[in-house]
Amino acid sequence: MPEEMINEPLHHPGDSDFVVVSNRLPVDRVSTEEGDGGWRRSPGGLVTALAPVMATQDGAWVGWHGAPDEELAPFHHENIDLVPVPLSAEEVELYYEGFSNSTLWPLYHDVIAPPEFHRTWWDAYRRVNKRFAQAAANTAAQNATVWVQDYQLQLVPRYLRQLRPDLRIGFFNHIPFPPQEIFAQLPWRQSIIEGLLEADLIGFQRASDTANFLRSARRFVGAGVKSAQIQVKDNEGNVVHIARAAPFPISIDVGQIQELAGRKDVIARSRQIREELGNPKTVLLGVDRLDYTKGITHRLKAYGELLHDCELTVEDAALIQVASPSRERVETYIQLREDVEGMVGRINGQYDTMQNTAVRYLHHSYPVEEMVALYLAADVMLVTALRDGMNLVAKEYVAARGDNTGALVLSEFAGAADQLKSAILVNPHDIDGLKSGILRAVNLSPAEAGRRMRAMRRQIVNNDVQRWSSEFLAALQKEATPV
Ligand code: F6P
């Protein structure tokens, strides 16, 4: 019996025909130190994308509610059945901050920070993945569809298949899947691939992520790969399961962003933002989780040099940088915050005047209404990620620009670059290239800006998140045909 087999008894099926499983629920518990112990929207692109899908679909969402050492019964929130999975404070440290965000996260993002490998973290990852699988098994009805999300839960398809062979299981990886040569570093690479291969369909953001995964499946478990179908064999070499892998680039709720972008109060707020900045000629905007993958320091370096070279002045241009707090107890994030805040302080110290500030740095997260007001206020959006699964902020900016004005500077290392080809594409490691990309965006003629924005908007409007989920779920229902 493989090491990963679960021996817990099979539970009676639940009554949900459709179950989403992700590390976080769409809402997070506000700690009593920060507020009243109520709920707030969880951070990140996964929730941004899946919340509107679940709002229009009957189903249950299984995930952690963001507070350690707290067991909660299933509850109903904004029309969705939520099934909380408890995590102890120690599991938050070992499984979430440790294996998920200090091993897998840097490993899957081009080792921008060095990944750490600890056996105690891996043990916690397995234990917690079993718990999520068990919760999904208890929630899903007979022959239900279960859609497992992201790198924190890569063993769930396997554990779930053992508990509930009747289920149709999909998996979607929201972050990049690394090249085989980098994935090879992971001591538990074989178990991770075996965990994923028990899904019927494994979705990735980019074609390159899919190709990376298929190469690793071939190399580390000797799976037979033919036309993106992966044959899982038993010890005698008999094919026992066929998994499929394919790219499904995720998107946003275009209708919601467009609706907000047309609302009077949101438009008034965007004008107010510009006025509060002193009505500069150009407002530049960066919106990111405070994460080292987002290239915030590269962006600040380029911006600081443009001020130094007098290519931009604080009278003519203002940069707003929203950096929402993230993974605040993880060492690399603590260090990043120091670096970013040090750079902002130095740039502002050098270039601010009594009237103007070079960088408005906002270490907060904001409701979507305020985000859309910021998108409307910004002439130039800067997305300079060093590596990013997709980057939904880039897509939200485009969706908000209904009058086809504005310019998007977009890193070629963000998944969104595969779809938003009319953005000003940059390599954020190339500071001179980044500087000229920013200047090009600032000085874009209205005709060229309009041409680029129209092309990007066509792409986004035709490919919203509802289409993403329905295409994934339709593909998941198809039978694999042996090739
Ligand atoms: O989309 C990538 C992702 O890591 C999600 O899985 C996650 O929920 C989100 O970003 C935010 O990160 P975290 O849940 O660690 O705060």
The 10s digit of each residue's pLDDT in 211-224 is: 999 999 999 998 88
Query: Which residues, listed in sequence order, are joined to residue 202 by a DSSP beta bridge?
Result: 171, 245
Domains 16-250+467-478 and 254-462 share a fold: yes
CB neighbour list of residue 353: distance below 8 Å, 6 or more residues apart: 314, 315
Please give the number of the atom of ligand 1 that sits closest to the Cα of 101: 15
Question: In degrees to the nearest 10, what's the CA dihedral of 89, 94, 100, 104?
Answer: 170
C-alpha 113 to ligand 1 mean position (Å): 17
Distance 445 CA to ligand 1 centre (A): 37
pTM of the model: 0.95
Nearest atom, ligand 1, residue 289 CA: 11
- pLDDT higher than threshold 60 for residue 12: no
Residue 117 CA to residue 129 CA, distance in Å, equals 18
Average of per-residue pLDDT across 103-124: 98
> Which is the closest atom of ligand 1 to the Cα of 96?
15
Ligand 1 first shell, C-beta below 6 A: 23-24, 43-46, 150, 174-175, 326-327
Do strands 75-77 and 80-84 pair parallel, antiparallel, or not at all (unpaired)?
Answer: antiparallel
Ligand 1 pocket test, pick from 42, 149, 290, 293 with the greatest ligand atom count within 8 Å of Cβ, gives: 42
Residue 102: phi and psi, rounded to 5, are: -120, -10
**Cβ atoms < 10 Å from Cβ of 281:** 12
Whether domain 254-462 has CATH 3.40.50.300: no
Centre of ligand 1 from the C-alpha of residue 23, in Å: 8
- Which of the four pLDDT bands, split at 50, 70 and 90, describes residue 4? very low
Q: Is the pLDDT score of 256 beyond 80?
A: yes
Closest listed residue to residue 341, CA positions, set 372, 363, 314: 363
Provide the pLDDT confidence category of residue 13 given band limits of 50, 70 and 90: low
CA 335 to the chain's CA centroid? 21
Percent of the chain with pLDDT strictly greater than 70: 95
CA of 7 to the centre of ligand 1 (A): 30
Residues 6+ apart with CB under 8 A from 266: 260, 369, 372, 373, 376
Strands of the sheet containing 407-411, edge to edge, are 359-362, 317-324, 282-289, 380-383, 407-411, 424-426
pLDDT in tens, 60-96: 999 999 999 999 999 988 888 999 999 999 999 999 9
Q: Which residues are catalytic?
A: 174, 388
Q: How far apart are CA 376 and CA 361, in angstroms?
A: 18
What mean pLDDT is predicted for residues 163-187?
Answer: 98
User: So what's the pLDDT on residue 105?
Assistant: 98
Indicate whether 5 pLDDT > 50: no
Would you say residue 384 has pLDDT above 90?
A: yes
Instruction: Give the residue, out of 22, 46, 151, 333, with the most ligand 1 atoms within 8 A of its beta carbon, to mutate for a pocket test.
Output: 46
CB atoms within 10 A of CB 193: 22
Tell me: the pLDDT tens digits for 318-337? 999 999 999 999 999 999 99
The count of residues in the chain is 483
Q: Counting atoms of ligand 1 from 1, which one is nearest the CA of 149?
A: 6
Residue 396 has pLDDT above 50, yes or no: yes
Count, in order, helices (H) and strands (E) of the chain.
17, 18
CA distance 134 to 164: 9
Q: Whose CA is nearest to atom 9 of ligand 1?
A: 44
Ligand 1 centroid from CA 436, angstroms: 31
Average pLDDT for residues 311-316, to the nearest whole number?
Answer: 98
* Residue 34 pLDDT: 65
Would you state the pLDDT for residue 427? Answer: 98
pLDDT at 52: 85
Whether the per-residue pLDDT at 44 is higher than 90: the answer is no
pLDDT at 327: 97
Q: What residue spans define the domains of the chain?
A: 16-250+467-478, 254-462
Nearest to 16 by CA among 133, 138, 134, 130: 138
Helices (H), 28-118: 45-55, 89-91, 105-108
Give the residue with greater pLDDT, 44 vs 250. Answer: 250
Reported as a single tens digit per residue, the pLDDT across 345-358 is 999 999 999 999 99
Nearest CA to ligand 1 atom 7: 44
* pLDDT score, position 479: 78
* Predicted pLDDT of residue 9: 37
d(CA 456, CA 184): 36
- The CA distance from 34 to 20, in Å, is 29
Q: Residues 339, 345, 347, 350: what is their CA dihedral angle, to the nearest 10 degrees?
A: -140
Name the CATH code of domain 16-250+467-478 (choices 1.10.1740.10, 3.40.190.10, 3.40.50.720, 3.40.50.2000): 3.40.50.2000
Written as six digits, the tokens of 191 are 């178990």
- 358/299 Cα distance (integer angstroms): 13
Distance 342 CA to ligand 1 centre (A): 25
Q: Of the ranges 10-19, 36-45, 316-325, 424-433, which one carries the lowest mean pLDDT score?
A: 10-19
The confidence score (pLDDT) of residue 482 equals 61
Span 307-319, average pLDDT: 98
Q: What whole-number distance in Å separates Cα of residue 66 and Cα of residue 87?
A: 9
Tell me if 122 sits within 8 A of 187, measured CB to CB: yes
- On the question of pLDDT at 442 being above 90, the answer is yes
